[in-house]
Copies of this chain bind each other. A is one copy, B any other.
Amino acid sequence: MKKKKENIDYALYLCTDRGLMSTDTVEEAVRQAALGGVTMVQLREKDCSAKEFYETALCVKKITDQFQIPLIINDRVDIALAVGADGVHVGQSDLPASEARRLLGPDKIVGVSARNVEQAKKAAADGADYLGVGAMFATGTKQDAKVTSREELCRIRAAVELPIVAIGGIKKDNILQLEGTGINGVAVVSAIIAAPDIKAAATELAERVKELREQ
């Protein structure tokens, strides 16, 4: 990553999921998405060994470095450290954000999933750099994810100063429902990764996010 933490563009945040990809490799999916305009990438690999996660992260980092966009590792702080990623994203069932921060130091990015004001405030106190808030819409990717209401999103926005990335079931047809919430960007999985043309899907979503943020 060539950008300092305060200059990160959270606009269109891709989360990977190798089970949903329309490409053969995670690297190729990320490359296509970067060509289309995603501004950061989170490698989220729940269904492979740590070795495979590590090796994939090494490959994907070459792509994100080439496009000068941050690479975030889901949950595994050790893999983030091993590959020199730009940070980690931790959910409420992962290593505590405060421990992730302690292990990564002040310069790396720590993102935290929050679905209510209490979790958002805790994350801010624990040293999070940004929040992933959702699921905003029902989603097939995380079937157990509870939906966060637009009202709760606005309460979180009012409660913390951190950048907020909305996540969960966001696609081109519903993204503009997030207008006026003050979010800094959207995170998507299947709307990009499962698209037959990943680059085109990312390009279109990037345009919609631009509209959203210009309101």
Report if A155 contacts B (CB, 8 A). no
Measured as residues with beta carbon below 8 angstroms from the partner, the interface class of chain A is 20 to 34
Number of copies: 2
Most buried by B among A50, A93, A96: A50
List 10 additional contacts besides A50-B93, A77-B81; criterion CB under 8 Å: A51-B93, A51-B94, A51-B95, A52-B93, A76-B76, A76-B78, A78-B78, A78-B81, A78-B95, A81-B103
Mostly, the A contact residues are helix
Report if A92 contacts B (CB, 8 A). yes
Q: Are B99 and A82 in contact (CB under 8 A)?
A: yes
Shortest CB–CB separation between residue A182 and chain B, in angstroms? Answer: 29
**Which residues from B are CB-within-8-Å of A77?**
78, 81-82
**Which residues from B are CB-within-8-Å of A49?**
93-94
| A interface residue numbers (CB < 8 A to B) | 49-52, 54, 75-79, 81-82, 92-96, 99-100, 102-103
**Which residues from B are CB-within-8-Å of A96?**
51, 54
